[in-house]
Structure formats: C-alpha cells, structure tokens
Amino acid sequence: MRRKLAAGNWKMNGLVDDLSEIKALTEAHPDPDVDMLICAPATLIAQMAWARGTHALQIGGQTCHAERSGAHTGDISAPMLRDAGASHVLVGHSERRTDHGETDADVAGQAAAAHAAGLVAVICIGETLDQRESGHALTVITDQLRGSLPPGATAANTVIAYEPVWAIGTGKVPTTEQIGEVHGTLRATLRDLMKQAEGVRLLYGGSVKGSNAGEIFAVADVDGALVGGASLKAADFSPIVSALENA
C-alpha cells in the first residue's frame, strides 16, 4: 500500500513572515493520515525545519546540483539541502527545464545526487499544450520518465510528479480520464524500468485546489498531489490535505 503524499511547492515565494503558514498548517493537521511535504525556497529550509517543531511535516528543496560541492556560484547541492533540514528535493520541474534549459540527463544526474545525499527525489515530468494537442502526450511523458530516472531509483527514494505544463498556474486541469491514462502509462513504464514500480508514488500537479482535489484523488494510480499556488496559504492547502486523507 502506497502512503499518500500531499506536497506543496512554494516556488520563488515566501519570506520569514510566511512561516506562520507552516504553524497554521501543522496545527490544522496535528496527526495527518498522509505524508505532508513543503518544498521551500532554499532561504527558508532551515527555518521551516525549526518552525515545524516535532510535527511530521517533511521539507524539500526545489532543485539541486548534480555535484556534491565545487565552483558553481549560486547553485545548491543535495548534501547542503540535507544539512539544512530537507528530506526531499524536486528535480526537473518544468520551470527549471524551461528557465534553465535542464534536460532529462541533467535531471537524472540531479536525482542521483539527491539519492546519494539521502534525499527523496521528486522527479517532475509533463507535456506542453502543443505536445498534448498533437497527440504526443504519452510518448513525451514516457520518454521523460525513461530519461530522468537514474539507476538506483527505488520506491523509497523516488516520487514521480506528473505536471502537464499547460495546467500549471492556469486553472486548467486535464480530465480525470486524461490523468488516469497518464498515470496508468507511468506505472506501466516504471514496471519496465525498476523492480519496485508498484511502490513508487505518482503525484498529479497543475491547478490542484480544494475544490477539484477530491475528484483527482479518486483516479487510479494518483497517490497525491504537487501543489503550487494553493500550497502557499494553510487555508488553501489544508482542504487538499483533508481531501487526500479522505480519498
């Protein structure tokens, strides 16, 4: 049985004052039935780890370099994230792939670095609107998964997040049939690629809100969500956590 995961991605948002949202979130869900994760900007990871106190909330980074250390000004390594209090890291988010030209091979290298540092890699994949409309969505996400999954990936150290680029921050959400088709394809592809395919959690991300979370979580092979905008405020994220607990 896969434990469900409600994950938030704060992206380039959040100042120290916003840690009050972490306090509110942990107070709203003192003993959650699902895993909870917030992927914070690097500047907040250590303080967020302190703010959660003894709560089970997990904290993640949003990217990491493939190397442990070195002359890479402005970058952050997986051991640094771990040192700051992170247990997870997003790799291959479409905003990184677009803004920083990250390729599947780069993402696989980052995921391997995360694993080597003892972090869970949340590998993000997803098609663009053009790719969806031209009928290539399944090929694109299958190729991304094959290219981004490093050797050594296990059910314990890897989560896959399907985030269609056209659904991120747009209010547009695929139909439940489309989500089910992609997640079923991802599960089948994982079976080809690794032994522990049944244990890997598959998240859906892209315009998830309290109002649509329930129907998304009812889809087979959806083990949780990766939430952007609606993860910034406890009042928005909490109903998504509750919907997952009730799924």
Ligand X SMILES: O=C(CO)COP(=O)(O)O
For residue 10, say whether it is annotated as part of any ligand binding site. Answer: yes
Q: Tell me the C-alpha distance between 39 and 183, whole Å.
A: 22
Residue 161 has φ and ψ, to the nearest 5°, of -115, 120
Q: Which residue, judged by CB position, is nearest to ligand X in the bound state?
A: 228
Q: Does residue 227 bind ligand X (CB under 6 A)? A: yes
Instruction: Determine which residue in the list 228, 237, 243, 247 makes contact with ligand X, applying CB under 6 A.
Output: 228
> Residue 168 or residue 247: which is nearer to ligand X going by CB?
168
Total of chain residues touching ligand X, rule CB under 6 A = 14
Within 13 A of 159's CA, how many CA atoms are on the CB side?
31
Quote the least distance from Cβ 169 to ligand X, whole Å: 4
Q: Which tokens sit at 25? A: 């979130």
Left, alpha or beta for 150 (phi > 0: left; psi -120 to 50: alpha)?
beta
Who's near 167: CB < 8 A, 6+ residues apart? 126, 173, 174, 205, 206, 207
Quote the least distance from Cβ 205 to ligand X, whole Å: 4
- Tell me if residue 136 is catalytic: no
Residues 152-171 that bind ligand X (CB under 6 A): 163, 168-169
Query: Dihedral sign, CA of 160, 164, 170, 175?
Result: negative
Q: Which tokens sit at 64? A: 């990491």
The helix (run of H) or strand (run of E) holding residue 6 is strand 5-9
- Tell me if residue 93 is catalytic: yes
Contact flags string 50-89 toward ligand X, x per CB under 6 A = ----------------------------------------
Residue 235 has φ and ψ, to the nearest 5°, of -65, -25
Q: Does residue 127 bind ligand X (CB under 6 A)? A: no
Q: Which tokens sit at 244? A: 């997952």
For residue 8, say whether it is annotated as part of any ligand binding site. Answer: no
For residue 242, say whether it is annotated as part of any ligand binding site. Answer: no
Using the rule CB under 6 A, give the single segment among 46-54, 181-189, 192-200, 223-231 that binds ligand X: 223-231
The residue from 93, 102, 127, 183 that is catalytic is 93
Instruction: Determine which residue in the list 159, 208, 219, 244 makes contact with ligand X, applying CB under 6 A.
Output: 208
> Residue 65 or residue 209: which is nearer to ligand X going by CB?
209
Q: Does residue 100 bind ligand X (CB under 6 A)? A: no
Asked if residue 202 lies in contact with residue 222, where contact means CB atoms within 8 angstroms, the answer is: yes
- Positions in the binding site for ligand X (CB under 6 A): 9, 93, 163, 168-169, 205-208, 226-230
